[in-house]
Structures are given as C-alpha cells and as structure tokens.
A and B are shown apart, each in its own frame.
Chain A
C-alpha cells in the first residue's frame, strides 16, 4: 500500500535530490552541465562569503515576519469570532478568501497596490497626511511589504484551521468555564488558546516550511533580490544562481539548495522537540 507513494517519492524527490548533491560537488559549464569535480568547494565559498550570511539573515527575518504575524493574526481573528458574533459565517468566509489566490495572482495585485507614486496604499495613506512610502523600493520596507503579502495569502488557511480547532473543543469545557464565571477574554486566554495547542503547533510547522520555501511573491514583487538585496532569501538566491539572467551555475545553486534542505530539517526538528512538548493533547 505504500508502494505508490514510495515510487513517486523515490523517482521525483529522492533521486533528483541525489542529483543535486552530485551537482553541488561539480563545476558547471556554459550550459549548466556538470564538469570538473570540485569537492566541497561550493560549500566553502558559500559559507565563507559575507553575501551568504546576509542571505541567511534575510531568510530568518522573513520567516519571523511571516510566521508570527500569520499565526497570531489568524488566532486573533478566530478569538474575535468566538465572542458570539452575528454573521460569523460571512466573516469567516471573508477571511478565508485569500486562500483562493495563487501566489502569482496575489503578487500581481499587491504590486499595483504598492506602486510608490500612484499605488492605492500610498493613495490611502496620503488621505491621512502620511508621506509616500517606498513599499518595495526602500530597503527597510521591502521585506516587510513582501511579508505582508505573504501573511495575507496565509491568513485564510490559518483561520480555517483554527476555526476547526475551536469547533472541536467539547461544549462541556466551555460550559464549565462559563459556570466558573470565566467569560470573554479570560476564557480565551485560559481555555481556548491552550486547547488550540495542536492546531497552533501544526500551523507554526507548516508556515515555517512554506515561508522558507516562498518564492513567487519575492520574485514578482522585488525582482533581483530587491533594493540593496534586502529581500534576497535563500530560495530566491538558489533561483538566481541557477536560472536568472542566463546564469546556469547549477553547482553553486545545488549547494545552496542542500543547505536549505538541512535548515528545514533542523527547524522542523527543533519545533517538534521544543514546541510539541508544550502542546496540550487531549
């Protein structure tokens, strides 16, 4: 019964991953074909370069800027919806809508909204007397703007998952809380949030993986790594080294990809190790 999965994974994930490992140990010719064996040279070059450290910082900042607001934002919305709101269905549907957008469509829309001279974002801020912001052209804003787009895209799914979690909390628990006089935010703080532990944990893990692998919105909103390379994350760097501007350094790109894979493994491992201990399972 495992055979179909194993075959597909072996053919299209493990095997190409092996190819990547092999490529990362070779140089590349004009067409991206592997040529001379260079051993760990790509890894040494990468780990020794200031640019790579910068890329890691950007990657880390991006993960923090997307995962934390995305999960907390979803949580806040769901807790608000829990306060016996009229039209909860309509609200929940509204918050779920971004889930329908592909990365490409969402990015195209935000690109127009962010236009520094004539975009809607600055148009609206201007009405309140706020000066124009270089959303995607100011190095201190670019990563934040891309993160906002990413959070927008993920909020729908997060709300759905957390709503489901709340729905699964047994009525007796809520009733007991009400009898104890714990209503509104106190109940949320001491009962709902702890009971949502498994969902929150799941979202943190999945969002981290997705955030580390985000690509489309970065490429569309801030091509070439953004102003002063302020949005050059690891995945973007892989793409840039392998495909952009007629580059085809598959060797160096593969080495970066392997590093990303290892980072993903470590992050997920830590999350399982640290976070899941604190999660309350029924």
Chain B
C-alpha cells in the first residue's frame, strides 16, 4: 500500500536507534548478571556474555539475606497499598464528582496540594510517629505484622489516584446517572454496579501505576524494617554489596530479580495502561 519512501526509511531508522538506546540499559542488566566477575569488569567492555555464569545469582540468593521472604514482603506490601489506594481513591473521587457538598472544590484543591509536599520533609516526623506507636504495650514495629502495617500506613491513600479517577468520572454521562437514580439505585449500587465496571480501564491504569510506585519504594522500607526478614526486596538487594568490595555482577543479578515482576507488568499490562488512559482518565 505505502511505498518505502526516503522519509519512511528515516522514520524507521530514528525509531530503531531510539528504541535501541532505550532498551540498551535493560539488556545490559540482564547480560551483565550472567557474566563472571572477570568478564564484567573487563575493558573495553564486553557486550555479550561468554556462556551462562550463575555465580551472581547464587551469591544473591545464598547471601544470608532471606530474599524469598523479602519477595513475599514486597508482594504483600505492594498489594495492600495498591488495593487500599484503589478503594480510597474510588470513594473520594466518587464523592468529589457525584455528591454535592459544601467546600467540595476547596477540599479537592487541598488534596492536590498534598501531592506537592516534599516527602523528605515529612519522612522524619512520620518515622517518629509510627515507631512511637504501640499496641498492647509492644512497639508497633516490634513484630512482623506490625512492621508490615507500618510499611503501608502512610501510603493507604494518595491524591494522585483521586485526581486521575475524578477526571475519569467527570466524563461519565449525566443521563446515565440520572437513569440509574430513577431506577432506584442508591450511591453504593450505582458505584459498584455501573460506574466501576464502566471505568475499568481507568481503575486498571491507577492500579498499575500505584503498584509500580509501591514496588519501587526505598527510603521508607529502609527506615521501618528492623531486621532482614522484615525488609522488602529493594532493600535486600541494595544490601547484597558492600562499598569496600563492590561486585557489579551481584548488583546486576539483584536488579534483574527485582525488575522481573515490574517488567512483566509493563510488557503484558501496557495494553491496559494505554487503554485505561485512553478511556479519558486524564482529561
């Protein structure tokens, strides 16, 4: 149909070059993780592994750091945060769009303003607050369950999700809403039976975004976790290495392990993110 004109050749060339530049670091992590210490630190740099060296993965999984437990912690922490933000955001966005109340816009402005508070400025007070709490005479962070709770508490709600979902809900045809009300559907019924199913893509987009952000958290889990088995994967991986004896292969193996879930989400979930955003989530 279309001819291969000079312009199209250029388009392809630019795209392929740009794509290679973007993918290269991803390739480098995975290739480097199966290189021996000698190969990875060679110069000029070696781009292709000489065979499959598994020592880095053995080092990462047998380092005394309970990587398996930390994987579980990360999955738990991330799922709880994602689920909770989804619920709290849906509720808040619903209230902002469908419930008439005094000071609605002001309150929404307040929500947005919370996005602008620099995390560095509130992390220490938060840390002091949470580690100061106790349940039944025991410090909250003294038990595994308590630590998990402390990990997720400040992130149970976020204005970003509220913002995205509000924009999406605003697109919802008012006639449909009125029809539902005439049929006798209350707020709850309307929300769960009509609004949410129709906004599935937007919900998906929010979930994926939150999941990735939570999975990649670093500073807070580092402060909160008081023992190796209570830390998250990101922290565990950062601890594989010591500054005086940096081992790049070990780091790359750790990074590869930690990006597998997120890489899978981006590759397979990409469709949903695009569709979710397309469905008017951000306009």
Residues of A within 8 A of B (CB): 1-2, 4-5, 8-9, 11-17, 19-20, 32, 77, 80-81, 83-85, 91-106, 108-110, 112-113, 117-120, 123, 126, 152, 155-156, 160-161, 163-165, 167-168, 184, 198-199, 202, 209, 212-213, 215-216, 235, 238-239, 242, 250, 253-254, 257-258, 260-261, 264-265, 268, 281-282
Q: Is the CB–CB distance between A238 and B126 below 8 Å?
A: no
A250 contacts across to B, CB distance below 8 A: 124
Residues of B within 8 A of A (CB): 2, 7-8, 11-12, 14-15, 18-19, 22-23, 25-26, 28-29, 32, 41, 43-45, 87-89, 91-92, 94-96, 99, 107, 110-126, 129, 153-154, 156-157, 159, 162, 212, 215-216, 218, 234, 238, 248, 251-252, 255, 258-259, 262-263, 265-267, 270, 273-283
Return A115 CB to nearest CB of chain B, in Å.
9
B187 (CB) vs chain A CBs: closest residue: A1
Task: Determine which of B12, B120, B281 lies in contact with A257 in the assembled complex, contact meaning CB atoms within 8 Å.
Answer: B120
| A-B CB pair tally, cutoff 8 Å | 226
Task: Determine which of B28, B218, B276, B280 lies in contact with A109 in the assembled complex, contact meaning CB atoms within 8 Å.
Answer: B28
- Assembled-state Cα–Cα distance A258/B41 (Å): 44
Q: Is the CB–CB distance between B28 and A113 below 8 Å?
A: yes
A235 contacts across to B, CB distance below 8 A: 118, 120
The B contact surface, by secondary structure, is: helix
Return A257 CB to nearest CB of chain B, in Å.
3
- Assembled-state Cα–Cα distance A91/B12 (Å): 10
Task: Determine which of A81, A215, A254 lies in contact with B15 in the assembled complex, contact meaning CB atoms within 8 Å.
Answer: A81
The A contact surface, by secondary structure, is: helix
Q: Is the CB–CB distance between B118 and A4 below 8 Å?
A: no
Q: Is the CB–CB distance between A96 and B266 below 8 Å?
A: yes
- Assembled-state Cα–Cα distance A119/B41 (Å): 10
Q: Is the CB–CB distance between A5 and B157 below 8 Å?
A: yes
A24 (CB) vs chain B CBs: closest residue: B121
B95 contacts across to A, CB distance below 8 A: 1-2
A4 contacts across to B, CB distance below 8 A: 87-88, 91-92, 156-157
- Assembled-state Cα–Cα distance A159/B57 (Å): 33
